[in-house]
Structure 1
Amino acid sequence: MEDSIFDRLFELLQTPGPVNWRLAGEVIKSVAGTPEPIEPAVSEEYSELTLAAELLVADVPGLAVPSAAPLHPVDRNTWAKENTQSFRYLLEPLAMKLSGDAGMSPMAALGPALLGMQAGSMVGFMSQRSLGQFDAGLPALDHADRYLIVPNVEAFAYENNLESHQVRMWAVIREVVHHAILDRDWYRGALIRAVENFFAGLEFDPSGMQDMLGSMQDPTALEGMLEGPDAVANLLGMKSDPQRLGQLQAIIAMTEGFGDYVVARAAKETLPQLDQLAEAAARRRAEPHQGAELLQQLAGLDLQRHRARDAADFCDEVVRRWGDEALDTVWETPENLPTVEELTDPVGWAARVLLDPLDPTNS
């Protein structure tokens, strides 16, 4: 039996590719739990809520809602399996960076397995807490469809003493809104470029890892080396570029904050508990959890998700001062997105984006 276990482990570790997705799938199985089929009546309710949500969101200026994408109400296990590789846009640039850097020879063997374990753990823990595709900071990009994890939606309602039907409607509206943001022509490419740009700016000092691996007597000690929010970054001696990280933080903050702003406008006449829902969501976003910690472990990637509140306030202020059309300008090109600093300085953003430098009346 012992030999077969090691044979199985050896087979998993030999899987080719920059990220060992086969190992990731095995880790997910151990974290995401057993399948819990969703009742047909529940699926039907979510279908009806999706139609209603699309109508509500369509009434908010500046956001076109693609109605062709279905919404799948699923259990944790199904979501995790469906999204095993949905964060490859995050992991594969890191893998290529690791394999391409000089002096990183230990990573030729360890890197794909290390990232596979991280990917599997991250997606598995996300399945225990996320509500949908856009609930972990960085969105899951592998599917054109929309997903909600039904047990987590119900748990959110129960834990916050909220009415279940309102929470379901709110969760569906959020998923519709964020999917509409992702559907913009340039958004997906801009997000991926921001991720790739961040990893391109990473620097490594693998000497510490080489020393630890050289002195490691017990293979199980690798698990201890991976504990803590900055474990992988420390293990590989990673240093990130604050400016590149800020660019990624800004696009994530604007995605979440604009989503909150649109949800509030779309649902204000429909959900009596909207204020309580928003407060509970803000608390939840600020709470540390294993999925977010694993994201941070990847090169010390701290998304600073609390900035979403700044972004929502930015949206309110832009509309108050200059109207809906001014806020629409944010989404015309990636260059129009506010920087991290501009999230709390809408006037500065307006001076950069809204004023025509060729118009003599603005001089």
Structure 2
Amino acid sequence: MTEFPFGFGPPNPDDRDKKDQSGQGGSGGQQNPAEAFNQLGQMLSQLGQMLSQAGSSSGPVNYDLAKQIALQKLSGQPGFGPPADSATAVRDAVHLAEMWLDPVTILPAGATQARSWTARDWVEHTLPTWQRLCDPVARRVSGAWVEALPAEAKEAAGPLLSMVGQMGGMAFGSQLGNALAQLASEVLTSTDIGLPLGPPATAALVPANIEEFTKGLERPSSEVMVFLAAREAAHQRLFAHVPWLRQRLLGTVEEFASGIRVDTSALEQLATQVDPTNPQSIEEAMRSGMLEPQTTPEQKTALARLETLLALVEGWVDVVVGDAVGDRLPGADAMRETLRRRRASGGPAEQTFATLVGLELRPRRLRAAASLWRLLGDRHGLEARDGVWAHPDLVPTAEDLDEPMDFADRLGNPALEGDPIAEIERTAPHDPPETPEEK
């Protein structure tokens, strides 16, 4: 998990030094909690006029601002658009990839259209999903401290609390916009970070980013394009024909966000760190780490479940794509290893996501998951391997990644795989036989 979840950042040492010199924020500048809350109420009142000019926004994040910032940053980058003929190249690559995937999986093609996206297109088409992912986090972070305010502080703030929420939405929107701009300049496909961010049944590639990615591979650009198209098409097959998968992935992120808890004792420092005459001080206070959420046991459980599911998705895609292109693309193995390391190292894209949603999106056990899918295919065939996706209760767990042979044995035993009563009898403790006296 990232050290500073969505809406937060590391404290600025210069700011801390200034506070120490002024007698605020240091050990000698202790302030009575009641005075701090009263000062907070006065601060909120003074912010009224400023916030009334900030524009309207609903919800915990100002997504209009986020989109505006992201698009502005991307338009300022040279070469952010794709080559003129990229649309044809993408369609041809996806079509070829689908033909190669057909013999190596029982899941049919899931994409009904292939699209060439610019970085700006990626922002526009994935923003609805980002809204679903970020809203629970921002709502918990921005709402927890307001809910914990004493009655006198709430009364002093009155309706201006909604304006503070508006300012928080602008602060979150600004952070989201900058993060999306960074992601959009790096992602290669719509499923590059493992989540179904784009519209359903749409295989989308970002040719400008792929061109930059290709420079370090020493492989023909057409070969790299087909390889990445195969990965995108494989992801789309899973998301289209495993109905529960999309909801389970996004729902687990939401579950993680719902467990956020904020240490409200930090509210005593809020008034001393905000200058009512300086709008930027609101965002700086929110990013300072003073309201940093604590990881709960429920969040750790959700995070472990998400990491396992991501590893299973990426491992399946890795195996299927390897079977589809291994004998056709000379550089396939090298590209597979490059992407594995790219995901496992937690590059800028994963770090940005960690800032946005509060967790790291790295399938740490990708290799173990790929080995498990390979074992299942070799022992039981494609139909049994891909049939595991039929229900969420059938997919391997983290423990199964530790003991892949045991999972393969259970999959090959119809009595245990398809009969829940047999499974209960297998796992339930057996009582010793009754003695004559007990009878």
TM-score, normalisation: structure 1: 0.84
- Cα gap change, 1:277/1:257 in structure 2, threshold over 3 Å: closer, same or farther? same
- Cα gap change, 1:84/1:193 in structure 2, threshold over 3 Å: closer, same or farther? closer
Matched, 1:134 2:191: yes
Other-structure match for 1:56? 100
Matched, 1:236 2:292: yes
Question: In 2, are the aligned partners of 1:60 and 1:262 still within 8 Å (CA)?
Answer: yes
Shift of residue 141 of structure 1? 4.0
Distance in 1 (alpha carbons) for counterparts of 2:361 and 2:175? 17
Matched, 1:125 2:182: yes
SS of equivalent to 1:146:
strand
Other-structure match for 1:3? none
Question: In 1, are the aligned partners of 2:193 and 2:350 still within 8 Å (CA)?
Answer: yes
Distance in 1 (alpha carbons) for counterparts of 2:61 and 2:286? 17
Question: In 2, are the aligned partners of 1:208 and 1:237 still within 8 Å (CA)?
Answer: no
Shift of residue 267 of structure 1? 0.7
Other-structure match for 1:345? 403
Report which structure shows greater RCO (CA 8 Å, sep ≥6): 2
Matches within 5 A, 1:111-260: 111-184=168-241, 185-208=243-266, 211-212=269-270, 214-217=272-275, 219-220=279-280, 235-240=291-296, 241-260=299-318
Structure number, greater radius of gyration: 2
Higher mean displacement: 213-222 or 22-31:
213-222
Q: How many residues align?
A: 351
Shift of residue 167 of structure 1? 0.2
- Deviation digits for residues 171-196 of structure 1, max 9, x if unmatched? 11111111111112222222232222
Distance in 1 (alpha carbons) for counterparts of 2:391 and 2:295? 30
Matched, 1:33 2:75: yes
Distance in 2 (alpha carbons) for counterparts of 1:321 and 1:11? 66
Shift of residue 223 of structure 1? 6.2
Other-structure match for 1:93? 136
- Cα gap change, 1:92/1:323 in structure 2, threshold over 3 Å: closer, same or farther? same
Other-structure match for 1:22? 64
- Cα gap change, 1:10/1:81 in structure 2, threshold over 3 Å: closer, same or farther? farther
Structure 1 stretches of 5 or more lacking a match? 1-6
SS of equivalent to 2:115:
strand
SS of equivalent to 1:271:
coil
Other-structure match for 1:66? 110
Other-structure match for 2:368? 310
Higher mean displacement: 333-342 or 144-153:
333-342
- Cα gap change, 1:62/1:144 in structure 2, threshold over 3 Å: closer, same or farther? closer
Shift of residue 306 of structure 1? 2.9
Other-structure match for 1:44? 88
- Cα gap change, 1:259/1:224 in structure 2, threshold over 3 Å: closer, same or farther? farther
- Cα gap change, 1:222/1:314 in structure 2, threshold over 3 Å: closer, same or farther? farther
Distance in 1 (alpha carbons) for counterparts of 2:409 and 2:285? 48
- Cα gap change, 1:74/1:110 in structure 2, threshold over 3 Å: closer, same or farther? same
Question: In 2, are the aligned partners of 1:121 and 1:294 still within 8 Å (CA)?
Answer: no
Shift of residue 138 of structure 1? 3.1
- Cα gap change, 1:321/1:13 in structure 2, threshold over 3 Å: closer, same or farther? farther
Shift of residue 9 of structure 1? 8.6
- Cα gap change, 1:115/1:335 in structure 2, threshold over 3 Å: closer, same or farther? farther
Distance in 1 (alpha carbons) for counterparts of 2:285 and 2:407? 43
- Cα gap change, 1:40/1:201 in structure 2, threshold over 3 Å: closer, same or farther? same
Distance in 2 (alpha carbons) for counterparts of 1:49 and 1:202? 42
TM-score, normalisation: structure 2: 0.71
The residue identity in structure 2 corresponding to 1:103 is A
The residue identity in structure 2 corresponding to 1:358 is I
Other-structure match for 1:81? 124
The residue identity in structure 1 corresponding to 2:313 is T
- Cα gap change, 1:235/1:31 in structure 2, threshold over 3 Å: closer, same or farther? farther
The residue identity in structure 1 corresponding to 2:123 is A
The residue identity in structure 1 corresponding to 2:104 is V
SS of equivalent to 1:147:
strand
Higher mean displacement: 349-358 or 182-191:
349-358
Distance in 2 (alpha carbons) for counterparts of 1:282 and 1:208? 41
Other-structure match for 1:358? 421
The residue identity in structure 2 corresponding to 1:286 is A
SS of equivalent to 1:159:
coil
CA RMSD between the two structures: 3.0
Shift of residue 350 of structure 1? 4.4
- Cα gap change, 1:263/1:206 in structure 2, threshold over 3 Å: closer, same or farther? farther
Question: In 2, are the aligned partners of 1:204 and 1:239 still within 8 Å (CA)?
Answer: no
- Deviation digits for residues 319-347 of structure 1, max 9, x if unmatched? 23333233223211112222233223223
The residue identity in structure 2 corresponding to 1:314 is L
- Cα gap change, 1:215/1:225 in structure 2, threshold over 3 Å: closer, same or farther? closer
The residue identity in structure 2 corresponding to 1:334 is P
Other-structure match for 1:285? 343
Identity %: 26
Shift of residue 264 of structure 1? 0.5
